[in-house]
Structure 1
Amino acid sequence: MARVVRKAAIVSYSSYGGSRTPEDALPPVVRAPRGKPAPGRRRKPKGRKKAKRIAMGVGAFVVLVAAAGCAWVYQLDSNIKHSALNTGTQPQKGAVIPGALNLLVIGSDTRNSALDRRLGGSDQSLPHADVQMLVHVSSDHRNATVMSIPRDTDLRMPSCTQNGKPHDFPSHDQITNSLNYGPGCTVAAVNALTGVHIDHFMVVDFSGVVDMSDAVGGVRVCTTHNVYDPGSHLKLSAGTHTLVGQGALKFLRTRHAFGGASDVDRAQTQHIFLSALIHKMKSAGTLADPSHVFKLAEAASHAFAVDDGLAGVSSLVGLANTLGSIPTEHMTFATMPTGQDPYNPNAWLVPGPGAQQLFDSIADDQSLTPTTSSSPKPSAGATASADRSVDPSTVEVHVFNGTGIPGRAAAVQSELAGKGYSNSVFEQTPTTVSASKVEYSAADPRYKSEAQQVAGALGLSPSSLTTVPGLTTVHVVVGPDLKVGGGSSSGSKPPVDIGAATAQAHTAIAGDTVQCAKASPWPLGGLPASAAAYRGLTVEQAYAKATREGIPDSDKTRGQ
């Protein structure tokens, strides 16, 4: 006979580490046991009265701080600009793999604000996607791939809509122009090119890069020789430097300072900067300092425009937690393999040999990190007991999304339902955790058995089990470590040849050390008319000339 479904008790705010509605924040009502009178009133000693006044004062302070925090979060939420994920006239291609995440990061060269015009130069053209990076997080959240797509890539872009009006592109066009009609159009273009289903986008402009580099206190980079790029105005002596503000922007935008001075080389330079930024973000000095965290949240709310699914501080924090949980040695940077474009061989690019294999590896959730391409499944002793001592259909499970990434709780609830936990629901209440938890009450041994069985069904370790007073149901709080949906879809098709996928992709592992950017040995060319005096010089010769003319290094000033 099936057990009567129990109602969930109210739990404390602190058990989730996140916000709750006022009703959820109330503590459980304590009543006298049945058949016994309630305790009578007693005269309270003066010491207890004083303690009560102190407690009331502390409580009032906590309420004020919490109210200020809510107001701050509300203000940050209102700062975030957001729009539709996909504005292409056709739905996205590609499978959705539960637990995996595909994020498109777009660097915009828009000059919509006076500050952007000052940073990037006056330009009345429509915005372009100066940078396009497809970030893939594996379904087990143990690996990540960051693939850059050169802005000069030629493709037949899909039609898009903006403000209700359809827009068509020529049969040949650069992918950078997709941003002319909004980030949802760039999502459609990248999906059409790669076949990878994109879950979210983030757009950052010139001033956003400046704000974020300031918020982390600068990013350390190095260069093998003295360099000066009169196009981006990046000027650095050989060695290591900390770049803030406009110096960071110049490093990201340089096309002539490093490598072969191509769009592909610029993508590699950006990977070096991102690797250094990741190291800075993971350092205890950044994330352990509340002032740094506040600056990061404040800067991020202004710096990024996101899709509607990421439009909230809790979602951005969840995304940051997910990315932050991945070891740097499991992060691979790659650039789309390219070839000369027959339509415009002197300026444009097309996907080259190995590009389709690279796209497929991302679409199929296959890691590019050779030693961790397939995560080992937990041994029997590593997970909580999964014996079927309790009928799963009689266990009431409430699933909370602790990642901030939309859809994670629903995916876990669907996984549980497929394993017989038909009485499971996912909750809309937001929260944020660094690791998954299975919560239960210690008041009844049955509750523990149910929690152990649920944890085992999800492949979670015994350390995930957490007791919370007052619960009468099992609560699963999904963290960034929880893999759902069976992971990779590679079981339905042969795995991608990683060697072929990465042969021409200029891959690099973030690792424990930051790579040094190699100065370009080639004479400068393709410069604007204002920099004609530097044509034919190497970047090292240009550095000497710029020094004689009194131009400061980019790590010495925020301006120019």
Structure 2
Amino acid sequence: MTPPEESFGGRAAARQAARGKSVPGQRGASGGHAAGGRGTTAATGRRKQKPKQRAKRIAMGVGAFAILVAAAGCAWVYQLDGNIKHTALDSGSQPQKGAIIPGALNIMIIGSDTRLGGDASLGGADNSLPHADVEMLLHVSADHQNATVMSIPRDTDLQIPSCTASDGKTYSFPTHDQITNSLNYGPGCTVSAVNSLTGVHIDHYMMVDFTGVVNMSDAVGGVQVCSSANVYDPGSHLKLKAGTHTLVGSGALAFLRSRHAFGGASDVDRTQTQHIFLSALIHKMKSASTLADPTNVFNLAESASKAFQVDDGLAGVTSLISLANTLGSIPTDHITFATMPTAQDPYNPNAWLVPGPGSQQLFDAIANDQSLTPTASKPKPSASSSASATQTVDPSTVEVHVLNGTGITGQAAAVQSELVSKGYTNSSVVSTPMSVNASEVEYSDSDPSYKVEAQQVASALGLPSSSLTVTPGLTTVHVIVGPNLKVGGGSGASSKPSVDIGQATAQAHTENAGATVQCAQASPFPLGGLPASAAAYQGLTVEQAYALATRNGIPDSDQTK
């Protein structure tokens, strides 16, 4: 019979039990552990060590954040919670398509061009309905070791599903419409539109406006970008000399919004420029100079809580910290940027786009949790490969404590039952609140035999060698169940249908965040389609426009806030 997941008298008692102490209700004549387990020192001959708190992982400044909370008190957390704006995730009229893969995350990132409030001074006064300047689908793999960021050009033509706005009214869209217009009636409509287009089930959304971009770039101390030549874009007002620059405030916003400065001066080229910026931002966010200073983390947390509107499921500082922790743990070189392959739209070939060759394969790769990172396709070393030669330990003599790190009731009990079926009869469930991004098998390095046992347990559950974690003070093997552990099938990755990644990425303009941040290539084409206020620049190249803008006294973007 599977032991219930229950508390043994509070968190402290549960943690003490997890360290190998006697637990009421477990096997053994006197209520302790069965003979042969580590709980009986005389039987094992192993000296117990003093229990220690399990070390918490620190990523994306969570450690510094904890220091700040301790210093500033709960009032600050409540203040940040109050800053966060949130709405329903999906307001579309149709149920979401796509399978839900346990542990995987699909987050819709939306850049709004709303001109309300302070945004009017940044983007120019405009009383029209908001549009989605940026649509990026962020996929985090089930094992939280890889991420894909796929941009959808704002000019993409599709049938947007009808949806319900915050005023309670349901709105319908024309048969042909640009995906940017999905934001007219709220982010829930954009989530519905992207799900309809891609078939990828979306778990959350995060939306940022012009002011939010300015504040976030300021909070990290600016983002370093590079231009291959002098450029001036009269549309976004980006003005940069050739070379490397640190952009803050409105300068960062101008770089992200520029449609004329780089590449072929198209919407697809703009997505690639945005990927260059985000790659540089990731490097800055992961740098010690950003996260080592608690003041930086305070400013970043304060700015983020005000900058983003999120779905109801992310509406809280603790939820955002958990997400930041997950994203921060992903190696930079395991993050791949891509743009949806496109073709000219037969309905409006001069201005609009439709999904092109390879787009469905790209959508399927994301929906099926297949990474685009080349190194991720290599087989990961399994704990079984290192344990196979030493699997001589009788499973019944290995004491295993199973802890639930998923937040989903019953997961630890299911894993414990799996272990029992494989001979680990001296295993038990311990109820201790915690959360992990991926499953871990913890052991002490004070005795070489502990590692052999941990390797054997990991192998029995189909977990990779990367799940093995040294934790001083343990007297048992700990299995911390994460979202990537599928009972009855190990990590379960092999059951996913295969997608031809080469075909999916052939036209997707992929970039790896781990690579050296590249220079954006200045556009060689004459400027066109400019507003009447910028008529003087019509027909000039961006380099010629830079020279004219300099004569007109317009400052470079790295000199403005």
Instruction: Please confirm whether the aligned pair reaches a TM-score higher than 0.5, indicating the same fold.
Output: yes
More deviation, 527-536/3-12: 3-12
Q: CA deviation at 1:330?
A: 1.6
Residue 528 (structure 1) aligns with: 531
Cα 1:426–1:554 change in 2 (3 A) is farther
Matched, 1:500 2:500: no
Residue 30 (structure 2) aligns with: none
CA distance in 1, matches of 2:394, 2:269: 56
CA distance in 2, matches of 1:78, 1:541: 48
Residue 76 (structure 2) aligns with: 72
CA distance in 2, matches of 1:175, 1:528: 23
Residues 153 and 340 of structure 2 are in contact (CA less than 8 Å); yes or no, is this contact kept in structure 1?
yes
Residue 557 (structure 2) aligns with: 554
Residue 152 (structure 2) aligns with: 149
Residue 404 (structure 2) aligns with: 399
Match of 2:352 among 348, 351, 365: 348
CA distance in 1, matches of 2:540, 2:68: 62
Matched, 1:117 2:116: no
CA distance in 2, matches of 1:72, 1:386: 54
Residue 206 (structure 1) aligns with: 210
Cα 1:346–1:439 change in 2 (3 A) is same
Counterpart amino acid of 1:76? Answer: L
Q: CA deviation at 1:370?
A: 2.1
Counterpart amino acid of 2:245? Answer: H
Q: CA deviation at 1:412?
A: 4.8
Residues 2 and 417 of structure 2 are in contact (CA less than 8 Å); yes or no, is this contact kept in structure 1?
no
Q: CA deviation at 1:215?
A: 0.5
Cα 1:449–1:374 change in 2 (3 A) is closer
Counterpart amino acid of 1:155? Answer: L
Q: CA RMSD in A?
A: 3.9
Q: How does 1:281-430 map to 2 (within 5 A)?
A: 281-373=285-377, 375-380=379-384, 389=395, 397-401=402-406, 409=408, 412-413=411-412, 416=415, 419=418
Cα 1:556–1:157 change in 2 (3 A) is same
Q: CA deviation at 1:289?
A: 1.4
Residue 163 (structure 2) aligns with: 160
What SS does the aligned partner of 1:419 have?
Answer: helix
More deviation, 183-192/320-329: 320-329
Q: CA deviation at 1:89?
A: 1.5
Q: CA deviation at 1:397?
A: 4.5
Residue 517 (structure 2) aligns with: 514
CA distance in 1, matches of 2:413, 2:108: 26
Residues 7 and 473 of structure 1 are in contact (CA less than 8 Å); yes or no, is this contact kept in structure 2?
no
Counterpart amino acid of 1:419? Answer: E
Residue 243 (structure 1) aligns with: 247
What SS does the aligned partner of 1:272 have?
Answer: helix
Residues 195 and 201 of structure 2 are in contact (CA less than 8 Å); yes or no, is this contact kept in structure 1?
yes
Q: TM-score, normalised by structure 2?
A: 0.79
Q: Deviations over 1:360-402 (max 9, x none)?
A: 111111111222125515232668999784599x98854245x
State the number of aligned residues: 498
CA distance in 2, matches of 1:5, 1:368: 38
Residues 437 and 478 of structure 1 are in contact (CA less than 8 Å); yes or no, is this contact kept in structure 2?
yes
Q: CA deviation at 1:83?
A: 1.2
Match of 2:102 among 98, 103, 106: 98
Cα 1:283–1:12 change in 2 (3 A) is farther
CA distance in 2, matches of 1:135, 1:509: 14
Q: CA deviation at 1:492?
A: 5.3
Residues 5 and 429 of structure 2 are in contact (CA less than 8 Å); yes or no, is this contact kept in structure 1?
no
Q: CA deviation at 1:63?
A: 12
Cα 1:185–1:454 change in 2 (3 A) is farther
Q: Deviations over 1:129-152 (max 9, x none)?
A: 110001111112222111100001
Counterpart amino acid of 1:8? Answer: F
Counterpart amino acid of 1:10? Answer: G
Cα 1:397–1:551 change in 2 (3 A) is same
CA distance in 2, matches of 1:555, 1:526: 26
Residues 224 and 518 of structure 1 are in contact (CA less than 8 Å); yes or no, is this contact kept in structure 2?
yes
CA distance in 2, matches of 1:75, 1:155: 40
Cα 1:368–1:308 change in 2 (3 A) is same
Residue 264 (structure 1) aligns with: 268
Match of 1:135 among 127, 134, 138: 138
Residues 436 and 477 of structure 1 are in contact (CA less than 8 Å); yes or no, is this contact kept in structure 2?
yes
CA distance in 2, matches of 1:427, 1:117: 52
Residues 97 and 488 of structure 1 are in contact (CA less than 8 Å); yes or no, is this contact kept in structure 2?
no
Cα 1:223–1:87 change in 2 (3 A) is same
What SS does the aligned partner of 2:290 have?
Answer: helix
What SS does the aligned partner of 1:536 have?
Answer: coil
Residue 10 (structure 2) aligns with: 10
Cα 1:349–1:434 change in 2 (3 A) is closer
Matched, 1:222 2:221: no
More deviation, 358-367/244-253: 358-367
Cα 1:427–1:188 change in 2 (3 A) is farther
Matched, 1:82 2:86: yes
Residue 236 (structure 2) aligns with: 232
Matched, 1:539 2:528: no
CA distance in 2, matches of 1:371, 1:453: 26
Residues 98 and 411 of structure 1 are in contact (CA less than 8 Å); yes or no, is this contact kept in structure 2?
no
Residue 58 (structure 2) aligns with: none
Residue 255 (structure 1) aligns with: 259
Residues 439 and 467 of structure 1 are in contact (CA less than 8 Å); yes or no, is this contact kept in structure 2?
no
Cα 1:305–1:417 change in 2 (3 A) is farther
Q: Deviations over 1:410-463 (max 9, x none)?
A: 59548627736899989895x66687666899xxxxx99999987663737685
Q: CA deviation at 1:165?
A: 2.2
CA distance in 1, matches of 2:279, 2:77: 29
Residues 387 and 452 of structure 2 are in contact (CA less than 8 Å); yes or no, is this contact kept in structure 1?
no
Q: CA deviation at 1:477?
A: 7.1
Cα 1:487–1:267 change in 2 (3 A) is farther
CA distance in 1, matches of 2:513, 2:5: 49
Q: CA deviation at 1:196?
A: 0.7
What SS does the aligned partner of 1:299 have?
Answer: helix
CA distance in 1, matches of 2:451, 2:260: 62
What SS does the aligned partner of 1:537 have?
Answer: coil
Cα 1:4–1:363 change in 2 (3 A) is closer
Residue 49 (structure 2) aligns with: none
Residues 86 and 309 of structure 2 are in contact (CA less than 8 Å); yes or no, is this contact kept in structure 1?
yes
CA distance in 2, matches of 1:98, 1:420: 21
Residues 337 and 351 of structure 1 are in contact (CA less than 8 Å); yes or no, is this contact kept in structure 2?
yes
Counterpart amino acid of 2:539? Answer: G
CA distance in 1, matches of 2:544, 2:130: 34
